[in-house]
Amino acid sequence: MNILITGGAGFIGSHTADALIRKGHSVRILDNLQETVHPKGKPGYLHPDAEFMLGDVRDRNKVKQALAGMDAIFHFAAYQDYLPDFSTYFHVNSVSTALLYELIVEQGLTSKIKKVIVAASQAVMGEGRYKCPECYPKEKNYVYPQIRLEAQLSKGQWEHLCPKCRHPLSWLPSDETVINPCNPYAISKYSQEQISIQLGKRYGIPSVALRYSIVQGPRQSFYNAYSGAMRIFALNLFFDKQPIIFEDGNQIRDYVNIDDVVNANLRVLEQPEADYRVFNVGGGKAWTVLDFYNTMQSIVKKTIDPVISGYYRYGDTRHIFSDTASLASIGWVPARCIEDSIQSYWAYLNHQDDIDDILDYATKHMKHLQVIREVKST
Ligand SMILES: NC(=O)c1ccc[n+]([C@@H]2O[C@H](COP(=O)([O-])OP(=O)(O)OC[C@H]3O[C@@H](n4cnc5c(N)ncnc54)[C@H](O)[C@@H]3O)[C@@H](O)[C@H]2O)c1
């Protein structure tokens, strides 16, 4: 097949391109080499057989050109920083998805396009699913908490409390029925899901939305604030610095390896049972942030105590973990573990020749974002 990957110069897109080319497909990439992801321009890791088109997914003419002759599309290009330019999330993520379907219909491509796969996110599920062990020890009465606000976090009160008895809630895995997007990125990702599934059904364009958890592996941009814990912990250990662990380090996270994500992408491309559905793509094992850091220390053979002193990132989720039973039902289960992800990322980091610039940039960028705050009283 001829396959278009928007955002194909990025982390997930470039690995997907490599896998598709290995399987004999032709790949065209449409990417604007967004400055915050690629400050040094076109990355050297792009597959030489992939056709590269420089362009923005908001540009009607570029997208039209990029669609010509294509049989399938992975729509990965996205705005995913923490900055408060709220409208950009919708211009890049939502409008581009609508534009894609608009052009498929306008250009009479509905029967030619075999599949559109859009990257959604675990963020669509927001704070996820919980239950109160006191009020509902047995029944399935779930609680879906709202985002924790400054009044709570500034006192260092991290856990979600039962709205009825104020007992700390217990987290549960969240399946695809959980929808509670709490920030502009998440809302835009949910709109992408809806645009693709609803317009896909209406016009007979087989479409799938994948809610990735935190994806890890080589090529995660060093410059993208979104790449999170892996990059920050690895850079600190590399430079023998103490990392800051936000809150108390006991937040639950869901890390999934890039090879598993690529396999999920290929599976939904190939399987008609995936059509018009939304799937979680997660790592299958819950990790606390602290356990993740400890595992990294043992793998890279360095021991540096982290700073756990009540810093928090405003807007962070307390616990989130994806239930991946739906994707398992069409034959996908994660096969890699967190140790695999850490090893491959550490090797990738150690092969970079501009590491000083990276740390400098990371520090300045986090200060600029002002997402890190400190507890005022406990
Ligand atoms: N990496 C994760 O952990 C994760 C988790 C959940 C969802 N996702 C989603 O998966 C997709 C891919 O993520 P990634 O980690 O590969 O990100 P990435 O930043 O590495 O890649 C995104 C690519 O899109 C390009 N891009 C950005 N804006 C563009 C625009 N307006 N026009 C054209 N190209 C543009 C960038 O230049 C970059 O090459 C995104 O939609 C993201 O929201 C990623």
Q: Average pLDDT for residues 135-143, to the nearest whole number?
A: 80
Alpha-carbon distance of 377 to 255, in angstroms, equals 32
- Model confidence over 53-109: pLDDT tens digits? 999 999 999 999 999 999 999 999 999 877 789 999 999 999 999 999 999 999 999
Alpha-carbon distance of 228 to 28, in angstroms, equals 28
Q: What is the pLDDT of residue 181?
A: 96
Closest atom, ligand 1, to C-alpha of 220: 20
Q: Give how many domains the chain has, as a whole number.
A: 1
Residue 162 covered by a domain: no
Q: What is the pLDDT of residue 239?
A: 85
What is the token pair recorded at 251?
Answer: 């937040």
Residue 332 covered by a domain: yes
Closest atom, ligand 1, to C-alpha of 75: 41
Residue 138 covered by a domain: no
Residue 231 has pLDDT above 90, yes or no: no
Residue 149 covered by a domain: no
Identify the residues whose C-beta falls under 6 Å from ligand 1.
Answer: 6-7, 9-13, 31-34, 37-38, 56-58, 76-80, 92, 119, 121, 212, 214-215, 221, 224
Pocket test for ligand 1, best of 14, 18, 34 (most atoms within 8 A of CB): 34
Q: Compute the distance from residue 87 Cα to the ligand 1 centre, in Å.
A: 17
DSSP secondary structure string for all residues of 46-70: S-TTSEEEE--TT-HHHHHHHHTT-
CATH assignment of the domain containing 34: 3.40.50.720
Q: Closest Cα to atom 18, ligand 1: which residue?
A: 10
Residue 331 covered by a domain: yes
Most confident of 1-15, 136-150, 355-369: 1-15
Residue 157 covered by a domain: no
Q: Compute the distance from residue 76 Cα to the ligand 1 centre, in Å.
A: 5
Domain region containing 262 = 2-128+170-374
pTM of structure: 0.95
Q: What is the pLDDT of residue 378?
A: 46
Indicate the range of 93-107, 155-169, 358-372 predicted with least confidence.
358-372
Residue 144 covered by a domain: no
For residue 314, what are the CA distances in angstroms to 82, 158, 168, 372, 373? 10, 11, 20, 7, 7
Positive or negative, the Cα torsion across 216, 217, 220, 224? positive
Alpha-carbon distance of 38 to 17, in angstroms, equals 18
Q: Output the CA torsion 258→263→266→267 (10° steps).
A: -140
